[in-house]
């Protein structure tokens, strides 16, 4: 994961970007009363994940950025679950995005372990 050629971003960055696009399209459909609280938090947290991963890709000290991204993914999973429990996300949508976030967490974990070597 950390041995990409110059100009190639790690798979976790691509996964985070794709999840961001999906989430931004999805939370825009939340009820107005929750779009600017829960929806904004979900979008902001996903943007923070993407930013941390890009910083890790271009930084010598990757571990801090990867740790922050991983923590943000865990919080994001709970925020998305709240959206499902409040009825703003169908079970099918929740299963899709939670699976994407689990996979993103695995990729970040693999990248972190590769840095430890």
pLDDT at residue 104, as a whole number? 98
CATH code, domain carrying 30: 1.20.1440.60
Total number of domains in the chain: 1
Q: What is the pLDDT along the chain (117 residues), one digit of tens a residue?
A: 444 444 688 999 999 999 999 999 999 999 999 988 999 999 999 999 999 999 999 999 999 999 999 999 999 999 999 999 999 999 999 999 999 999 999 999 999 999 887
Does residue 1 form part of some domain? Answer: no
Does residue 15 form part of some domain? Answer: yes
Does residue 2 form part of some domain? Answer: no
Does residue 5 form part of some domain? Answer: no
> Whole domain around residue 71: which residue ranges?
11-116
pLDDT at residue 73, as a whole number? 98
In 1-117, where does DSSP find H-type helix? Answer: 11-27, 32-34, 40-58, 62-85, 91-116
pLDDT at residue 7, as a whole number? 60
Between CA 45 and CA 42 the distance in angstroms is: 5
Does residue 83 form part of some domain? Answer: yes
pLDDT at residue 2, as a whole number? 45
């Amino acid at each position: 994961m950390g041995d990409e050629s110059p100009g190639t971003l790690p798979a976790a960055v691509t996964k985070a970007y794709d999840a961001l696009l999906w989430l931004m399209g999805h939370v825009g459909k939340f009820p107005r009363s929750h779009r600017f609280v829960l929806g904004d938090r979900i979008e902001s947290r996903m943007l923070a994940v993407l930013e941390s991963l890009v910083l890790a890709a271009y930084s010598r000290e990757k571990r801090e950025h990867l740790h922050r991204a991983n923590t943000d993914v865990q919080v994001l999973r709970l925020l998305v679950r709240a959206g499902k429990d409040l009825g703003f996300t169908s079970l099918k949508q929740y299963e899709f995005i939670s699976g994407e976030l689990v996979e993103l967490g695995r990729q970040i974990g693999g990248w972190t372990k590769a840095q430890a070597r």
